[in-house]
Structure 1
Amino acid sequence: MRAGTGQNYKTTVTFASPWSRIKKAFARRRTARPTLLIANDYNSNSSSTSTEFVSPISFDTPPVDRGHNEKLAINRLPPEILAEVFIVVCEACDLSDHSWVFCSQVCSGWREIALDIPHLWGHVVFATSEWTRRCIERSKSSLLIVEADVSFPFVRDRVCEVLKLANRVGRISIRCFFLDDQVTQLLGGPFPMLTTLCMESYSPLASPEIPLDPDIQPYPMLRNLQVRSNVAFLPHLPARLVSLEINNGDSEDVGWDTFAAAIQLLTELEILTLRGFAIPSTSASIRRISLPSLRELHLSASPAHCTQFIAALECPQILRYDLDLWVAAEAGSMFQTVLRNLRRPPPKSMFLHRLYGTVGTDYYMSPNYMDVGFFQHVVFGFTYNDVRDLGVATRDICFCWRTPLTDSDLAEIFVAISEIPLLDTVECFLLVDWNTSPQGSWPALLRRLVRLQTLVISGLPASGLLWDLVHELEGSAGDPPFLPDLTEIEVNCVDCSAGGWVTRRPHVNSYIDLDGARFLEVLICYLERRRAKLPKLKVSKCHNYSGAEIKLLRRLVKEVEWDGVGMTLPTYVPNGDEFGALTINHNVLSTRASYQELNLSDEERWRKQHRARSRTSQSNRLDRLYDVMT
């Protein structure tokens, strides 16, 4: 609040991407966005109007910049920094986004900087013939980047003009529906400076041919090859490849000998991706493939095929596995084979993520409103980093089932996970939306996690795990407890009103119908029964809990870290059990003296206010209906 004025001022700090910031700068620096006009330069004999766009702004004279202000922070940046910003924006744009060219059309200062960056204009724009020629001129002797969809004739002609400059082409990314003979012939090269080649066909019938003649060696510098179409396997691969991706390849099995002979030569290969590709069948007498530099392996197949393929590889430097699996059968042997081939110290963090349905953000798509076994998916694996910082780039060992799984498939995978020898070294365990495992399914896994220190529960609550911890403490007199080294529990993004899902029944409309307790109540039961206080509990981004429950948690845990978000007051609605966390009368905690912190008179006051509001709202609706009818 500003002193003496009585006005409130709120400061919002946002961290925008470089592209969003540069767009704001463009909006300030130019009076209006250049108007796009219709042109017809790709077919001079046609009288019809084409669909390509041309900017009316001259290439040689920058537009009038009435809003130029040298005091702006972005205008005080050194030219070297602005040049890097322009390059970042250019590389962030996809094939159809050419808005980065406005960096040369804002003002004379920006234009001078942009024209002094030949590398920037190596990213050729194929929107018009004039732009294509201008990019070639401005790039000078820099390498050219060809990224285009050649399904359209006017774009294909411009791409062919650039491909004829084979000595200057450094990267090619071609999308097409059908690849004609002219482009295929030009792709035969040779391209002495080409380092990246990506071919993608979105036609189920097209089979574009990639000319890889071993006698000519058209791509001597090629390091990255991506084939995303139903082409046949390429037997003559460039020997210096660092990354090879065959996605949606031909389903025909080329045979292990042909496959091994081609892959064996890639001694510098570091990343191998085979998805939608018929991995050749193996046997005990086959020749093994030695890939001394391989660090990442991405496969899409059944667990049995993945096991056979990995067993036939010799990869002393392998660090990361990413397996997209089709079925649940034989998952246990696959786990054993993959983890046995690790050449690093075992990872200390494990994650278990369950996806349910196709829309995870819709409240009514939650599991309690869906049939059992409807589109269940599992993501499981290990990471060398802290599991709480888990991201796509840190999933070092990942097993993913994206096909619909039944409850029996899910149970089979869970049993296989419990038998992994690597569990003895796990120190951090992340559970994401894993709320379907009932009581009795966790003990086999919990007995193995003898060194677990941090348990993270995110999303849907894993109350089944907590119930097994409670029952083990109640039933074991002298036996060592589960998770003896546990020092921290973190609960984030959890609906504390959700039930425990101890059993699974279809068409359940209430959390309370399942086990009679909310997730937070089960957590309190476990903390009360522990032989020693839990050292640390972290509650963040949760909702549907009361302040009294947080106070009780502070008594049961040595250190509670709470962000203060999501606490609610008692509220009453017609379907009360749908919002169970908003009331305090529950089976588990109702008899505990330490829990009697909520003023019951406040409860009655809230109840009366809700009833009064309901009657007032109903009366108002009747009055409006009466007015309409009369």
Structure 2
Amino acid sequence: METSVSQIAHILSEMVRGLVVAEQECPPGTGAANTFESLDREIESLVQTRGHVKKLSELQQRKNQHLPVYRLPHDVYLHLFKLMYHANPIGGVGWKVSQVSRMWRVVTLSIPQLWSTIDKICPVFVEVCIARSGNVLLDITLDQRPYNSWFSPFVIYAQSRKARLCVASILPHAHRRRSLSLIRCDEKIFAPLLLVMVPQLERLRLEYFTAHLPRSGEAFLESLPLHSIAHWIQPNPLFGFLRCSPLLEELNLSNAVIPRPSTSIVVMPVLLPRLR
């Protein structure tokens, strides 16, 4: 083995020596040497350009700091961003605002509420919102649009993997869920979100999903819209779930079939004093 390695090294050395001799015999202005010099000049020029761009960015930031709008106290931005969130609490508010400027980014990172709405099936977005929302309750709306018939298996697999990663990130924070909406979601992927205790849940919305309901104990649930459920809702689990939700104010059943039991059963009254 040592002999083979030494032979290969000797052959390579001879080849390199031959290339050097050939380059030295080339006319001036041609060959690899000239190419290297040209590349070195281009690299040096790009490095200088990058330095100028960095310097320009620093000067622009310094100039912006002298503008009146940048001299406003952070508390003013804090108040404005909170008003914006309460006026239209859509997902991605913090994400979008934080891209405007470095100062806005600093302010948005200090407002957990701006990151408390998760409405995109995107693992990076979900992880960022969970991390930056601190201990604030989460409002989660996941709408998994149907796959187009022309989607390749690779695209479908990639989208399913993204959905599974999102569910895996959300599951450990069940105690922080204030609302959960599952719309056109794959039961095999998203059903685990309904199989854990959700003590703070106030609103549950299921559309084009299954008849799964969270485990009992949803004492704070206020709203329960069920639309176009994929399978029939069995009466006993539904009534049991409602009995555990005394604060329920809204119950909306649309295209949700509750079958007649095959045997006669005694249904205990379901008391919902706040139902509107």
- State the secondary structure of the residue aligned to 2:118: coil
- 1:235 aligned partner: 239
Secondary structure of 1:244's partner? strand
Amino acid at match of 1:211: L
How far off its partner does 1:181 sit?
A: 3.4
Whether the 8 Å contact between 2:94 and 2:115 is mirrored in structure 1 is no
8 Å contact kept, 1:65–1:107: no
Match of 1:211 in 2: 213
For structure 1, the residue ranges without an aligned partner over 5 or more in a row are 1-63, 202-206, 272-630
Structure 1 residues 71 and 172: CA distance shift in structure 2, 3 A: same
The match for 1:122 is: 116
- 8 Å Cα contact 1:166-1:189 kept in structure 2: yes
SS at match of 1:164: helix
Residue 98 of structure 2 aligns with which residue? 104
CA distance in 2, matches of 1:102, 1:74: 22
Would the aligned equivalents of 1:200 and 1:228 in 2 still touch at CA under 8 Å?
A: yes
1:176 is aligned to 2:189: no
Q: Say yes or no: does 1:164 pair with 2:194.
A: no
Separation (CA, whole Å) in 2 of partners of 1:79 and 1:72: 10
Matched, 1:247 2:265: no
Give the 3 Å change call, closer, same or farther, for CA 106–200 of structure 1 in structure 2.
same
Distance 1:212 1:115 in 2: 32
Separation in 2, partners of 1:99, 1:113: 13
Q: Does 1:71 align with 2:68?
A: yes
Q: Is the CA contact 2:246–2:271 (under 8 Å) kept in the aligned structure 1? A: yes
1:4-40 CA-to-partner distances (Å, cap 9, x unmatched) read xxxxxxxxxxxxxxxxxxxxxxxxxxxxxxxxxxxxx
Partner AA of 1:114 in structure 2? T
Aligned equivalents of 2:107 and 2:94: distance in 1?
14
Shift of 1:87: 1.2
Instruction: State the SS of the aligned residue for 1:101.
Output: helix
Cα gap change, 1:143/1:113 in structure 2, threshold over 3 Å: closer, same or farther?
same
Alignment of 1:514-529 (within 5 A): none
C-alpha contact 1:228 1:248 (8 A) present in aligned 2: yes
The whole-number CA distance in structure 2 between the counterparts of 1:74 and 1:265 is 57
In structure 2, the partner of 1:225 is 224
Which ranges in structure 2 are unaligned for 5 or more consecutive residues?
A: 1-59, 146-158
Shift of 1:221: 1.8
Work out the CA distance in 1 between the residues paired with 2:79 and 2:128: 24
- Residues 316-327 of structure 1: pairs in structure 2 closer than 5 A: none
Instruction: List aligned pairs for 1:489-568, cutoff 5 A.
Output: none
Matches of 1:258 and 1:123 in 2, distance apart? 42
1:83 deviates by 2.6
CA–CA distance in 2 between the matches of 1:90 and 1:82? 12
CA shift, 1:259, in A, is 11
Q: Aligned pair 1:195/2:202, yes or no? A: yes
Structure 1 residues 222 and 99: alpha-carbon distance in aligned structure 2, compared to 1, 3 A threshold = closer
Distance in 2 (CA, whole Å) between partners of 1:258 and 1:212 is 23
Q: Are residues 89 and 105 of structure 1, via their aligned partners in 2, closer, same or farther at CA, if it must alter by over 3 Å?
A: farther
Distance 1:171 1:251, change over 3 A: closer
Preserved CA contact (<8 Å) 2:92 2:118: no
**Letter of the 2:273 counterpart:** T
**1:118–1:138: 8 Å Cα contact kept in structure 2?**
yes
Q: How many residues align?
A: 192
CA distance in structure 2 between the aligned counterparts of 1:106 and 1:167, rounded to whole angstroms: 32
Which residue matches 1:88? 86
Deviations 1:139-184 (A, max 9, x none): 111112211124551442133120332112111111115x323422
Residue deviations 1:595-627 (CA, integer Å, cap 9, x gap): xxxxxxxxxxxxxxxxxxxxxxxxxxxxxxxxx
Preserved contact between residue 194 and residue 214 of structure 2 (Cα < 8 Å): no
User: What's the CA shift string for 1:390-437, capped at 9, x where partnerless?
Assistant: xxxxxxxxxxxxxxxxxxxxxxxxxxxxxxxxxxxxxxxxxxxxxxxx
1:165, 1:192 → 2: CA distance? 11
- Tell me how far apart the structure 2 counterparts of residues 185 and 266 of structure 1 sit (CA, whole Å): 27
Name the residue aligned to 1:141.
135
Q: 8 Å contact 1:235–1:258 — kept in the other structure?
A: no
State the alpha-carbon separation in 1 of the partners of residues 121 and 191 from structure 2.
Answer: 22
Partner of 2:51: none
| 99 and 116 in structure 1: CA distance in 2 versus 1, 3 angstrom threshold | closer
CA deviation digits over 1:416-465, x for unaligned, max 9? Answer: xxxxxxxxxxxxxxxxxxxxxxxxxxxxxxxxxxxxxxxxxxxxxxxxxx
Assess, with a 3 A threshold, how the Cα gap between structure 1 residues 112 and 261 changes in structure 2: closer, same or farther: same
Letter in 2 for 1:126: K
Which aligned pairs between 1:322-401 and structure 2 lie closer than 5 A?
Answer: none
Partners of 2:202 and 2:221 within 8 A in 1: yes
Instruction: Provide closer, same or farther for how the CA distance between residues 221 and 65 of structure 1 changes in structure 2, counting only shifts above 3 A.
Output: farther
C-alpha separation between the residues in 2 aligned to 1:197 and 1:133? Answer: 22
Contact 2:136 2:176 in 1 (8 A): yes
2:179–2:202 Cα contact (<8 Å) kept: yes
Task: Tell me how far apart the structure 2 counterparts of residues 173 and 190 of structure 1 sit (CA, whole Å).
Answer: 16
C-alpha displacement at 1:187, in angstroms? 0.6
* Distance (Å, rounded) in 1 between the aligned partners of 2:71 and 2:239: 52
Is the partner of 1:240 in helix, strand or coil? coil
Q: Is the 8 A contact 1:86 1:103 kept in 2?
A: no
Please tell me whether the aligned partners of residues 122 and 166 of structure 2 are also in contact (alpha carbons under 8 angstroms).
no
Using the TM superposition, give the Cα deviation of residue 75 of structure 1 relative to its aligned residue in structure 2, in angstroms: 5.5
Q: Deviations over 1:489-516 (max 9, x none)?
A: xxxxxxxxxxxxxxxxxxxxxxxxxxxx
Q: Which amino acid aligns with 1:129?
A: P
TM-score of the superposition, structure 1-length normalised?
0.27
The residue identity in structure 2 corresponding to 1:268 is R
- Residues 74 and 163 of structure 1, relative CA distance in 2, 3 Å threshold: farther
Q: How far does residue 266 in structure 1 lie from its aligned partner after superposition?
A: 0.9
Q: Is the 8 A contact 2:179 2:204 kept in 1?
A: yes
Change (3 A) 1:160 1:196: same
Aligned-pair CA distance for 1:73:
10
